[in-house]
Amino acid sequence: MEFRNEILRGKISRIKPLSKQKGHVKIYIRSKKCEEEVIQARKISVKNAAGEFKEHRVEKAKLDFEVTYCYKCKKLGHVAFKCTDKSAAETCGRCAESHKTQDCIHPDSKMKCVNCKGAHKSGDFQCSAHIKAVERLRQLLA
């Protein structure tokens, strides 16, 4: 992939296609200043397979949504198909017991996070384990 934009040259650390949305890619930018410039410009020109430059809209991705969660055991850092949890049932994302989150009958006061044992849903953006994972991602991309 080639960029026409001067500000992006040599500053891309990774480009990942988003399979669900056709034509969407995720761009990891090394420099904070460059990231701000791209977001401010709101578009970049990228050369396509036919050799012509096309303008693309830019949106800032939130690292909060980049953290990997397992929908089965509700733990951080892996996806369900790589889950090593052998129990038959899903772990509840509200109370951390063995049942589906949507079947949970416990009140909010019984909420328990699988990752930090705190009184909130597993996967909560305010969770200390989640915040640490975001910080790790930020360092990986720096």
Q: Is 127 in the site for Zn ion (CB under 5 A)?
A: yes
Count the site residues for Zn ion by CB under 5 A: 14
Report how far residue 22's alpha carbon sits from residue 137's, in angstroms, rounded to the nearest whole number.
25
Q: Is 92 in the site for Zn ion (CB under 5 A)?
A: yes
Those residues with Cβ within 8 angstroms of residue 12's Cβ, 6 or more apart along the chain or in another chain: 3, 27, 28, 29, 30
Report how far residue 92's alpha carbon sits from residue 101's, in angstroms, rounded to the nearest whole number.
4
Q: Is 5 in the site for Zn ion (CB under 5 A)?
A: no
Q: Is 73 in the site for Zn ion (CB under 5 A)?
A: yes
Smallest distance from Zn ion to CB 45, Å: 41
Those residues with Cβ within 8 angstroms of residue 69's Cβ, 6 or more apart along the chain or in another chain: 75, 76, 79, 122, 123
Nearer to Zn ion, 67 or 115 (CB): 115
Find the binder of Zn ion among 113, 121, 123, 133 (CB under 5 A).
113
Closest CA to 64 of 10, 139, 135: 135
Closest CA to 68 of 33, 115, 105, 106: 115
Site string for Zn ion, 31-70 (x = CB under 5 A): ---------------------------------------x
Q: Is 136 in the site for Zn ion (CB under 5 A)?
A: no
Report how far residue 44's alpha carbon sits from residue 15's, in angstroms, rounded to the nearest whole number.
14
Smallest distance from Zn ion to CB 124, Å: 6
Positions that interact with Zn ion (CB under 5 A): 70, 72-73, 83, 85, 92, 94-95, 104, 113, 115-116, 118, 127
